[in-house]
């Protein structure tokens, strides 16, 4: 037998969950076929030239629209991937073993409890990460054509996670949380539900605060009669826009030019001195990703450590 062949609990884990492994492979194949096929369809119709040196898809290019639609659904699926990984680990891989009592068989085969759990996490982690990376590559292939269009901005949910390291970090977090919850609850359905809630909560919370990791870029301009409203670079992410009073404080409300503004005032409460616009440039994508990845990996390491401590406490 080759030294690279799976042995012991690793072989058992793969054998036991081979259907899930096949489904992961099918998901990758389907993504390749759909996105690759739509890219080929899109390429059949040449783009049309417009002013200012831009090229846009021809009006009759239905392949481009279908690719955008597929990428929108693809984004949703990639966002849900960590939830799926966590649910599968918490339920079928861990909690079900305790609920049915089959874990005793492994522990009676001279397999230490820590090795038993490690085999499950390593196997599931390798498959989940490989699947995530392959799907990310397929997503990037589609993104190279439709990225930046409506609902496919680099900062949108799904696109943001898939375009960097964050998705892999969330997969590892879901893996560790699933193992911990499965060990604590030991009821398949309940463990799956709790894991989904915890992982989803982390996704939601970090998604809500991620754009506070780095300071925004601010541009200001005059707020006088006939002044233009400030605009940001085309690929930026707007975070706020409004007025600045003569006191220097930001005022609630919206830009009021080109209304006549004697003495620079268009508000009854305070004269207006300028307008401002806060945004994140596209260059903030990578550092924001790295910061969030570090946070998520720290949480994953903590959850994994707690999982092994719970296992050691119950099965020394």
pLDDT digits (tens, 9 = 90+) for 148-187: 887 889 999 999 999 989 999 999 999 999 999 999 998 8
Residue 225, φ and ψ in degrees, nearest 5:
-60, 135
pLDDT digits (tens, 9 = 90+) for 234-252: 789 999 888 888 888 887 6
User: pLDDT value at position 262?
Assistant: 45
d(CA 167, CA 207): 12
User: pLDDT value at position 173?
Assistant: 96
Contact call for residues 277 and 236 (beta carbons, < 8 A) = no
User: pLDDT value at position 305?
Assistant: 94
* Distances 261 to 64, 136, 257, 276 between C-alpha atoms, Å: 47, 52, 8, 17
d(CA 197, CA 203): 10
Rounded-to-5 percentages of helix, strand, coil across the chain: 65, 10, 25
Going by C-alpha positions, the residue among 2, 278, 31 that lies closest to residue 131 is: 31
pLDDT band, very low/low/confident/very high, at 302 (cuts 50, 70, 90): very high
Q: Give percent above pLDDT 70 in the chain.
A: 83
pLDDT band, very low/low/confident/very high, at 142 (cuts 50, 70, 90): very high
Does the pLDDT of residue 202 top 70, yes or no? yes
Instruction: Classify residue 216 by its DSSP letter.
Output: P
Going by C-alpha positions, the residue among 200, 202, 240, 192 that lies closest to residue 220 is: 240
**Range with lowest mean pLDDT among 206-215, 228-237, 255-264, 285-294:** 255-264
Q: What pairs with residue 219 in β-bridges?
A: 277
Specify the pTM: 0.86
**Mean pLDDT computed over every residue of the chain:** 84
Calculated CA dihedral for residues 218, 223, 226, 227, nearest 10 degrees: -10
Range 79-105 average pLDDT: 83
């Amino acid at each position: 037998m080759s030294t690279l062949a799976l042995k012991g609990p690793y072989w058992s884990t793969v054998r036991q969950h081979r259907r899930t492994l096949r489904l992961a492979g099918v998901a990758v194949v389907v993504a390749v076929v759909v996105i690759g096929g739509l890219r080929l369809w899109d390429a059949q119709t040449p783009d049309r030239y417009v002013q200012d040196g831009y090229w846009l898809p021809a009006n009759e290019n239905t392949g481009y629209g279908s690719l955008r639609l597929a990428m929108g659904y693809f984004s949703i699926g990639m966002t849900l991937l960590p939830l799926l990984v966590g649910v599968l680990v918490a339920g079928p891989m861990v909690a079900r073993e305790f609920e049915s009592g089959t874990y005793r068989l492994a522990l009676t085969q001279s397999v230490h409890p820590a090795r038993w759990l490690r085999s499950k996490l390593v196997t599931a982690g390798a498959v989940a990460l490989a699947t995530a990376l392959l799907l990310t590559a397929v997503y990037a292939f589609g993104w190279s054509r439709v990225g930046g269009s409506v609902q496919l901005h680099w900062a949108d949910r799904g696109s943001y996670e898939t375009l960097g390291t964050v998705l892999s970090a969330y997969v590892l977090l879901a893996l560790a949380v699933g193992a911990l919850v499965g060990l604590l609850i030991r009821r398949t359905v309940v463990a799956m539900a709790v894991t989904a809630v915890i992982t989803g909560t982390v996704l939601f919370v970090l998604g809500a605060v991620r754009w506070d990791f780095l300071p925004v870029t601010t541009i200001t301009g005059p707020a006088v009669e006939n002044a233009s409203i400030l605009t940001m670079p085309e690929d930026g992410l707007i975070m706020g826009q409004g007025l600045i009073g003569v006191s220097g404080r930001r005022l609630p409300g919206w830009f009021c030019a080109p209304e006549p503004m004697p003495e620079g005032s268009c508000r009854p409460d305070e004269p207006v001195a300028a307008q401002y616009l806060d945004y994140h440039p596209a260059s903030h994508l990578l550092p924001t990703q790295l910061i969030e990845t570090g946070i998520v990996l720290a949480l994953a390491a903590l959850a994994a450590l707690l999982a092994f401590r719970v296992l050691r406490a119950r099965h020394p």
